[in-house]
């Protein structure tokens, strides 16, 4: 713990000393997000703590607070090369986030290799300090835990003077288990094709994209369970079978400028197949595949979101509306579901942002999750307490 504190203090002092200046190609930037959350005990997504019935005396809601992110980023750019190292610091310690090298080989072709951003769809591409909602949707976080991958990425952009200006294709071979070492050497494929268009006077722009992910998850068991005829049905397989992990996505965005201020509407629809453990939907984020809790449950899923972000006469004030849904098991319903991750949820959210200066942001956001009611899951025969109120202060440097 002392070592982490010393590292954090040294890096923070170094960053403030650098004041985000570029010296011979080196730039140091970062941001810190500190927040408090008041959450229902069955909330799908809480970041600064977790519910403990003994500590909270069986209350339906609990208060928690801490550092959501404390990021420090070192970027070196010179000629056509780039190197990026980013770490996260919080009360939990110091951990790597990014560590990759980039090369702009041609005007239309570049490469990245190392610890890179996941880039499936649109939501993953919004950096946290500029994102208007407190966090990405539950579905995005669980499909891509950690939001980063070890891999090799190619980026192809149509030339500015071509008829295909605005078209971009991203392709990558990734490990598929977050930032951990790959346990089996299997390569996963991630892709995103995007087209962006801006009108001549920059008063209207839109974008559309499609995404595809194809990978494998190790089973470490001799059974593979599929949800058939209203129940989890085992199928005999060989141990360490690689189960298919496949995602599809469609996204769209539009920005325009009415008299009240800039308006941005964006949405995304995702569906596919997710091998997971029995009582969770989350994709693997480590090198261990435990046979006592194997990734042996195939879930067909779907989900989507729609955000509406509105400047309130000034970029200093913004309002945010959110509507989303997550169906973690499209083959189950309230009568056949046996755990919370077989249910469908509707997520509604409302938030306000105040940017008093260029590097300070104050945010308040309320998330409400409406669960599908289930007959066979204790407590889920009604709406469970799962709402979350988040207050955050962010400083960038």
CATH classification of the domain holding 89: 2.40.160.10
pLDDT tens by residue, 275-329: 999 999 998 876 667 777 888 999 999 999 999 999 999 999 999 999 999 999 9
Q: How far apart are CA 268 and CA 251, in angstroms?
A: 4
Confidence at 4, pLDDT banded by 50, 70, 90: very low
What residue numbers bound the domain in which 238 lies? Answer: 2-396
Q: How far apart are CA 247 and CA 286, in angstroms?
A: 20
User: What pLDDT was estimated at residue 5?
Assistant: 41
Lowest mean pLDDT among 85-94, 180-189, 319-328, 373-382: 180-189
User: What pLDDT was estimated at residue 202?
Assistant: 84
The residues with which 86 forms a beta bridge, in sequence order, are 73, 98
pLDDT(37) > 90: yes
CB 170 within 8 A of CB 122: no
Confidence at 86, pLDDT banded by 50, 70, 90: very high
Confidence at 6, pLDDT banded by 50, 70, 90: very low
User: What pLDDT was estimated at residue 183?
Assistant: 65
Strands (DSSP E) along the chain, which ranges?
Answer: 22-23, 26-40, 61-78, 81-90, 93-106, 109-117, 148-157, 167-174, 188-198, 204-218, 223-228, 231-236, 242-256, 263-276, 297-311, 317-327, 344-357, 360-371, 388-396
Lowest mean pLDDT among 197-201, 341-345, 346-350, 392-396: 197-201
pLDDT tens by residue, 113-160: 999 999 999 999 888 999 999 999 999 999 998 899 899 999 999 998
User: What pLDDT was estimated at residue 2?
Assistant: 44
Rounded mean pLDDT of the chain? 90
Confidence at 7, pLDDT banded by 50, 70, 90: very low
User: What pLDDT was estimated at residue 215?
Assistant: 92
pLDDT tens by residue, 246-286: 999 999 999 999 999 999 999 999 999 999 999 999 988 76
User: What pLDDT was estimated at residue 23?
Assistant: 64
What would the mean pLDDT of 199-212 be, rounded to a whole number?
A: 93
What does the block give as tokens for 212? 């595809």
User: What pLDDT was estimated at residue 54?
Assistant: 85
User: What pLDDT was estimated at residue 223?
Assistant: 92
User: What pLDDT was estimated at residue 204?
Assistant: 94
Plot region of 261 (φ>0 → left; ψ -120 to 50 → alpha; else → beta)? left
**Domain tally, the chain:** 1
Plot region of 114 (φ>0 → left; ψ -120 to 50 → alpha; else → beta)? left
Confidence at 15, pLDDT banded by 50, 70, 90: very low
pLDDT(59) > 70: yes
CB 287 within 8 A of CB 175: no
Token pair 């991958």: residue: 149
Q: How far apart are CA 230 and CA 8, in angstroms?
A: 51
Token pair 């995103």: residue: 192
């Amino acid at each position: 713990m002392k070592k982490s504190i010393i590292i954090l203090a040294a890096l923070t002092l170094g960053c403030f000393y650098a004041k985000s200046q570029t010296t011979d190609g080196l730039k140091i930037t970062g941001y810190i997000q500190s927040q408090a959350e008041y959450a229902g005990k069955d909330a799908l997504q809480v970041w600064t703590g977790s519910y403990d019935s003994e500590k909270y005396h069986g209350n339906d809601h609990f208060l928690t607070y801490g550092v959501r992110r404390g990021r420090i980023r070192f970027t070196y750019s010179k000629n056509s090369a780039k190197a990026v190292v980013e770490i996260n610091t919080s009360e939990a310690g110091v951990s790597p986030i990014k560590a990759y090298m980039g090369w702009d080989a041609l005007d239309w072709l570049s490469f990245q290799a190392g610890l890179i951003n996941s880039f499936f769809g649109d939501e993953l591409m919004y950096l946290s300090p500029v994102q208007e909602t407190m966090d990405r949707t539950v579905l995005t976080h669980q499909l891509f835990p950690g939001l980063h991958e070890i891999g090799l990425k190619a980026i192809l952009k149509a030339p500015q003077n071509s008829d295909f200006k605005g078209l971009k294709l991203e392709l990558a071979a990734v490990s598929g288990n977050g930032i951990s070492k790959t346990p089996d050497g299997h390569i996963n494929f991630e892709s995103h094709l995007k087209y962006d268009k801006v009108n001549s006077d920059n008063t209207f722009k839109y974008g559309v994209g499609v995404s595809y992910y194809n990978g494998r998850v190790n089973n470490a068991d001799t059974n593979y369970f599929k949800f058939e005829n209203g129940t989890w049905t085992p199928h005999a397989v060989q141990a360490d079978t690689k189960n298919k992990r496949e995602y599809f996505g469609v996204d769209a965005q539009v920005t325009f400028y009415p008299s009240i201020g800039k308006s941005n509407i964006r949405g995304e629809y995702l569906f596919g197949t997710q091998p997971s453990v029995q009582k969770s939907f989350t994709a693997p984020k480590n090198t261990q595949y435990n046979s006592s809790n194997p990734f042996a449950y195939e879930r067909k899923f779907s989900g989507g979101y729609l955000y509406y972000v509105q400047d309130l006469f000034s970029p200093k004030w913004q309002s945010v509306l959110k509507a989303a849904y997550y169906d973690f098991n499209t083959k189950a319903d309230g009568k056949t579901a046996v755990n919370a991750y077989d249910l469908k949820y509707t997520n509604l959210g409302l938030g306000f942002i105040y940017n008093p200066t260029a590097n300070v942001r104050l945010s308040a956001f309320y998330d409400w999750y409406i669960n599908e009611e289930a007959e066979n899951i204790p407590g889920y025969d009604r709406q469970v307490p799962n709402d979350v109120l988040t207050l955050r202060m962010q400083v960038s440097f």
